[in-house]
Structure 1
Amino acid sequence: MQGPQRYIAHLDLDSFFVSVEMLNNPSLKGKAVIVGGSADRGVVTTCSYEARKYGVRSAMPMKTAMKLCPHAILVKGTRGEYSRYSRWVTEIIAAKAPLFEKASIDEFFIDLTGMDKFFDPYQWTIDLRNEIMETTGLPISFGLASNKMVAKIATDEAKPNGFLFVQPGMEKEFLAPLPVNKFSGVGESLHSKLNQMGIYTIQQLSNTPMTLLEKILGKSGADLWKKSQGIHEGIVQPYHESKSISTENTFEENKTDVAFLLSELVRMTEKVAYELRQDGKLAGCIAVKIRYPNFDTTSKQIAISYTLRDDELIPVAIDLFHKLYQKGQPIRLLGVRLSELTSHKLQGSLFDETDKKDDLYKAIDAVKNKFGKTALQKARTVKSPEKDNPTKG
């Protein structure tokens, strides 16, 4: 027996960082604006549509972008503001949507399956988009379809600041004329291979026997063929169940040495930040947990600007510890948790001094991946031999 007709909406804030900068500085409206790193070594995080007309694109080296569009206004970016607006939009969606996923800082999926008994999913999404625009002032586009993949591609086609509904059963027809690199995962190399096979459009891909695609491209050939038929089974991951990354230590002996406790806190924050980067995520919230010998447990959390960096997380963790800790009391367990996890394709370029610091973190993580997570540690986390080695709880 067939289940109810699926309806998935994909919402994407248009040129999100640029839009926020324009709200905060209206003189930028209608101009070629580039948000990103330094003019020497930086990369483009995003740019206005006026800059895109000159060929400027996300992830492009800033030097190239400034050659293409020398009159562009370069903005370093205000990450705290992006976090604030992202949370604002999330709250509006959370108040209305039955089930939604925050796919990144500026992108959402909403599952409206079964809701067509009560309202028209298309009109509902139009109303939600209007509310977001009227409340925040941000432009936002959406695609509505029977699955996540088609909804996301529909959003791309609807941009800038538009919307598109691909009716159930029309997926293949909608995809047919589009170039094959509209599918995520079709990078330059795969795109070139497909072109060599005479496959330029999704229709040409769907007309190619799956066995031939599999023979030439392996497993990705079968996946691509399935996508070309408009088939995609990915589910909307509920945001309220968004995973967190945490670690905690139960000490063999209760601890009162604050210097030791802080070094442990720093070590644990480094550990969860490393795991965060390995998952390609940003964290928007950090919590510290303390348990005393009588098993009284207390924790405190704080919302932060989305980050993946040790040097931004550690001072907040230390501050939370000092606010929580009952001075002089021995501690049985200490823990750190990162939550409100989200991703961004160009997460590194969200940051000031992006190039040097991101290169440093990549180098540190590469050493940890090769030689183990404890291969590099901050000086304050390196314990002298006579210190206890805490067991993981």
Structure 2
Amino acid sequence: MKKEKVVLAYSGGLDTSVILTWLKETYGYDVIAVCVNVGQEDDFEEVKKKALATGAVDAYAVDVVEEFITEYIYPTLKAGAVYEDDYLLGTSFARPLIAKKLVEIAEKEGAVAIAHGATGKGNDQVRFEATIKALNPRLKIIAPWRIWSLKSREDCIDYAQKHNIPITVTKNKIYSRDQNIWHISHEGGNLENPWNEHDESIYMMSVAPQDAPDEPTYIEIEFEKGIPVKINGEKYDPVTMLTILNKIAGENGVGTIDIIENRLVGMKSRGIYETPGGTVLFKAHKALEKLTLDRDTLSFKKIVAEKYAQLVYDGLWYTPLREALSKFVDHTQECVTGKVKMKLYKGNCVAVASVSPYSLYNEEFVTFGEDDVYNQKDAEGFINLFALPLTIRAIMNEKKIKEEKEVI
């Protein structure tokens, strides 16, 4: 009898290597391993070989790095979306794209199910499964961490050793990491105690601020309609641009945060996130918006950014609201064109200059020197009208107090 097929989101790491064997033993499926390249530093041919050696009937390595940047990172960058004021959503917006590719391959291969290695405690299970349900609700979803007898990563190590599955993780070095071209996250191990200061030796994309150069680095980022297109006047494709920025910012210790965040499932977690190039882009983009957007648009866009970040974090990329908010954001970006000069120094990243053909800054109006464009006497009438509610309230309070005194 022909076996049914399952598509496994496969990285070659501890969890998915164990899951591949477990799926075969538990369900008797033919397992198709799919590694989606969103910019992680892996040897994808080796990952495919490992999958086949572990028992997969077929293995894919799908390169979607540019699509990841242009269709997921850029919309979120333009929105200014940051989760809980800190997290630049590096893992969050990669998951919908990975799940999308899993669905496409499952449909191509005639698979009946998709399996993933996200735990029952985390956000990724929601992100993967919400996307799968949005794109093909007929596919069965298997989440081993929610149903198998293995209770910890230590158990997975024991399982792998028992089944002769090659792994690189040990019980002494057991950080859970997720990497793509935008960031790398570190969780687990001694980080689970929030009183433990994290060990800077875990950094992979950056250096510690104190180890960064003693002289500041200046770079100019040029945007067109909210999208970064040039570094120091030279145009780059999206992948090359982000790769260059990661290197420059990482060498300057920029973009590493240590945060406690609220997971969607209701618990708090701690993560160390390195987002060097992304941090530069977010801060540069924010500076350019301050130059080119009017007060009301900028203020309302902050509300949109917060909601957008929550939707992305919660795995609701393929929803009418997220798509509608992106339409609004795109309209606000029509004039977000120009250059921003960034100063990078020992972990700090600040915008020090900006220019745009759509700048709303007018030196003639704001100068402290003499000018011929603004009559300061006009401010008196403006203030009288602006403060009229306060004036009326004060008059009524005086009247009330006077009446009370007369009664006494």
TM above 0.5: no
Q: Mark the structure with the bigger radius of gyration.
A: 2
Using the size of structure 2 for normalisation, the TM-score is 0.25
User: TM-score under structure 1 normalisation?
Assistant: 0.26
